[in-house]
């Protein structure tokens, strides 16, 4: 009787054990398949290995220090008098730690000044750099602009923090024609290594949206939406083993523009005046030895809208990044 009970308990436990083990095995198989797909894609060679190669390791750990800033300038004619304004945001510094696996990366950034309550602005950067295409998305919400207003025949007026609130969205994308030999990621994400010098013509697209509110006299609000297309060129220079210098320029001419300015109860639409443009410039210096690398990158965005004989706005946004990493 006791043997019969044990047999029945064993018969009930075996399917449960098999089911639980099956779950674990299924999850393990799924992970292995996903890892195999990533490895296949990561090691796929559809480029000239005499010029670019993948790093020999799968994992990358990196520490970054980012510094960024923004500048808005305008000039025009008001009541027959020429005026110029300049408003600059306080520069922002963040420190981030990140980890990458076979071309995919995740990082966490901290702003010490914001944590201590000394900085209230918000900035979001999202970057994707691949051999054949890539893009930057930058969103900036800033209230700490300060500067001055200068009009002919008048004394310069200082404009303190808090008077100007600006929300800006910048987007820029590229397509590299010579992606078999030229690699943007080698300079900006280190998921490739550039072995020999190479350049490429680039197709470019840019977009910018901005809302600026100035709390002065009757109040002024400026809204703009711009889309541009163009072409440029990028070059990766390898002066010696382990070194990489990058420089690229992507000018785009605005093909769609909608800009309006509200002053008090009056609303004025700004007409398009050629050439209005969005220019993106990038630069980098990278040094690597063994499984270590360090470097510096720069991204610069410039936009001009309007006519200086009426009213024009110049926007500048920049970011400098230094980094140190290990390939594991």
Question: What pLDDT shows up at residue 19?
Answer: 44
Tell me what pLDDT residue 178 has.
96
- Where are the alpha helices (H) located in the chain, listed in sequence order? 2-43, 112-115, 184-188
Pairwise CA distance, residues 115 & 108, whole Å: 14
Distance CA 98, CA 267 (A): 46
- Identify the residue whose tokens are 């210096």: 285
Q: What is the mean pLDDT of each run of 10 residues along the chain (328 residues)?
A: 45 46 63 69 82 89 91 84 88 86 72 64 82 89 88 84 88 94 92 94 94 78 91 96 95 89 71 82 95 94 83 90 93
At residue 37, what are phi and psi to the nearest 5 degrees? -65, -45
Handedness of CA 8, 13, 14, 16 (dihedral sign): positive
Measured from the Cβ of residue 184, the count of other Cβ atoms closer than 10 Å reads: 28
CA distance 211 to 149: 19
What per-residue confidence (pLDDT) applies to 113? 62
Q: What is the pLDDT of residue 309?
A: 75
The Cα–Cα gap between 223 and 208 comes to 11
């Amino acid at each position: 009787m006791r043997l019969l009970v044990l047999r029945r308990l064993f018969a009930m436990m075996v399917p449960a054990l098999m089911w639980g083990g099956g779950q674990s095995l299924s999850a393990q198989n799924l992970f292995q398949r996903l890892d195999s797909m990533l490895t296949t894609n990561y090691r796929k060679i559809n480029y000239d290995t005499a010029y670019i190669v993948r790093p020999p390791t799968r994992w990358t750990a990196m520490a970054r220090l980012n510094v960024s800033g923004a500048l808005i300038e305008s000039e025009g004619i008001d009541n027959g008098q020429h005026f110029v304004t300049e408003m600059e945001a306080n520069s922002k510094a963040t420190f981030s730690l990140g980890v990458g696996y076979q071309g995919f990366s995740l990082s966490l950034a901290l702003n010490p000044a914001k944590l201590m309550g000394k900085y209230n602005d918000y900035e979001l950067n999202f970057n994707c750099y691949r051999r054949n295409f890539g893009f930057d998305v930058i969103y900036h919400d800033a209230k700490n602009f300060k500067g001055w207003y200068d009009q002919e025949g008048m004394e310069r007026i200082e404009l303190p923090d808090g008077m100007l609130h600006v929300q800006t969205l910048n987007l820029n994308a590229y397509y590299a024609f010579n992606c078999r030999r030229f690699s943007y990621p080698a300079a900006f994400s280190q998921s490739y290594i550039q072995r020999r010098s190479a350049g490429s013509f680039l197709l470019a697209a840019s977009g910018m949206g901005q809302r600026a509110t100035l709390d002065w006299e009757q109040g002024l609000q400026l809204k703009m939406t711009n889309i541009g297309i163009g072409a440029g060129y990028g070059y990766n220079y390898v002066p010696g083993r382990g070194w990489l210098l990058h420089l690229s320029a992507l000018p785009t001419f605005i093909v769609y523009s909608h800009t309006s300015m509200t002053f008090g109860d009056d609303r004025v639409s700004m007409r398009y005046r050629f050439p209005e443009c969005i220019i993106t410039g990038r630069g980098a210096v990278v040094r690597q030895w063994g499984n270590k690398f360090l470097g510096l990158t720069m991204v610069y965005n410039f936009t001009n809208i309007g006519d200086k004989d009426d009213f024009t706005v110049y926007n500048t946004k920049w970011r400098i990044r230094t980094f140190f990493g290990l390939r594991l």
